[in-house]
Amino acid sequence: MKAFILERYGKKRALRLADMLEPELRDDEVLVQVHAAGVNQLDARIRDGAFKLILPYRLPLILGHDVAGVVVKVGSRVRQFKSGDEVYARADDFRIGTFAEFVPVKEASLALKPQGLTMEEAASIPLVGLTAWQALVEQGELKKGQKVFIQAGSGGVGTFAIQLAKQLGATVATTTSTANVALVKRLGADVVIDYKTQDFESVLRDYDIVLHSQDGKTLAKSLRVLKRGGQLISISGPPAPEFGKEIAAPGFVRLVMRLLSAGVRRKARGLGVGYAFLFMKANGAQLREITRLIEGGAIRPVIDKVFPFESTPEAMTYVDSGRAKGKVVVKVK
């Protein structure tokens, strides 16, 4: 099969088109013929080597976490899916590789594609949708009437998280550039801060949850907009010791995580707020909940650009630029 591979870790290193063996199928997996694949910051950070300690992949590696496509083969223990089913998923850790013609996905990580969505629209959803769900619903337990600050509202996670938070009945604040103010307002943001002209710390007070996706300087400021008992959930780090236990990381890796997050955890304790690091996981059951919201019209995909498969490296470059409004998708078939 054709696939784009990463041969060595490196900052903005280009992917190379190669002929690879079709992946072997395990008993609890289905083989999906990839019709479209979402491109995420996570792909770029793995390529750059940022997660070498957490996710020690063997190279060469096929990147790509989001897939929408058609089931062509099922493992012997698979019961929920059959050949011909249109599906979507966030590929499993250590089985990623959606920048290819075929990818194996665990039955437990898969869901039927939402009706009414194109393959490209469906491929834009899984990683950002599950990130928002696991942050706001599972970990944050966001409730009606609470206030949530979602950073970078016009990005992939932001565009989905704003819609999900509004569906949950929360008041939503977000940051974006001047050009994208109208977009995030259409998605439901109540308080919009133009980061080019405003400082969110001078505007926001007593928030219940911050969904943090930016740098360390922004992290320190974000802790201060929370009310006592509030929590900051970071998807950009630093990783906390609890995450090391969760992934059963070796002792030295857990020590590194503890040291990296010591400063922010100390600041959070001093302010009476919580700090947690989230590395989202594939989850078919949660994806089915998201499907219901999409089919009910509560959430819609936001796609910036669709690239042809042969332009996958250019799609990665575009994601690197940080200018995407919503998601970037590669059309494979």
Residue 221 domain-assigned (yes or no): yes
Distances, alpha carbon 332 to alpha carbons 134, 269, 310, in Å: 28, 47, 8
> How distant is the alpha carbon of residue 113 from its chain centre?
18
Are both 153 and 222 inside the same structural domain? yes
d(CA 293, CA 132): 13
Query: Domain of 53: which CATH number?
Result: 3.90.180.10
Are both 257 and 319 inside the same structural domain? no
Q: What is the pTM of this model?
A: 0.97
d(CA 115, CA 162): 22
- Mean pLDDT (10-residue bins), the chain, 333 residues: 97 95 97 98 95 90 98 98 98 97 98 98 98 98 98 97 98 97 98 96 97 95 98 95 88 92 97 96 98 98 98 96 94 96
Are both 119 and 139 inside the same structural domain? no
> What pLDDT is recorded for position 267?
97
Provide the number of structural domains found in the chain. Answer: 2
Residue 320 domain-assigned (yes or no): yes
Are both 181 and 234 inside the same structural domain? yes
Contact call for residues 121 and 320 (beta carbons, < 8 A): no
The continuous run of DSSP H or E covering 316 comes out as: helix 312-320
> What pLDDT is recorded for position 53?
84
Query: Domain of 169: which CATH number?
Result: 3.40.50.720
Domain of residue 94 covers 2-125+301-331
> What pLDDT is recorded for position 54?
84
The continuous run of DSSP H or E covering 289 comes out as: helix 284-295
Residue 172 domain-assigned (yes or no): yes
Are both 189 and 320 inside the same structural domain? no
Residue 209 domain-assigned (yes or no): yes
Are both 160 and 214 inside the same structural domain? yes
Are both 70 and 100 inside the same structural domain? yes
Q: What is the CA radius of gyration of the chain?
A: 19
Are both 143 and 252 inside the same structural domain? yes
> What pLDDT is recorded for position 45?
94
> How distant is the alpha carbon of residue 156 from its chain centre?
8
Residues in a beta bridge with 331: 36, 308
Residue 245 domain-assigned (yes or no): yes
Among residues 70, 3, 65, the alpha carbon closest in space to that of 30 is found at: 70
Residue 295 domain-assigned (yes or no): no
d(CA 100, CA 61): 11
Are both 154 and 111 inside the same structural domain? no
> What pLDDT is recorded for position 114?
98
Residue 222 domain-assigned (yes or no): yes
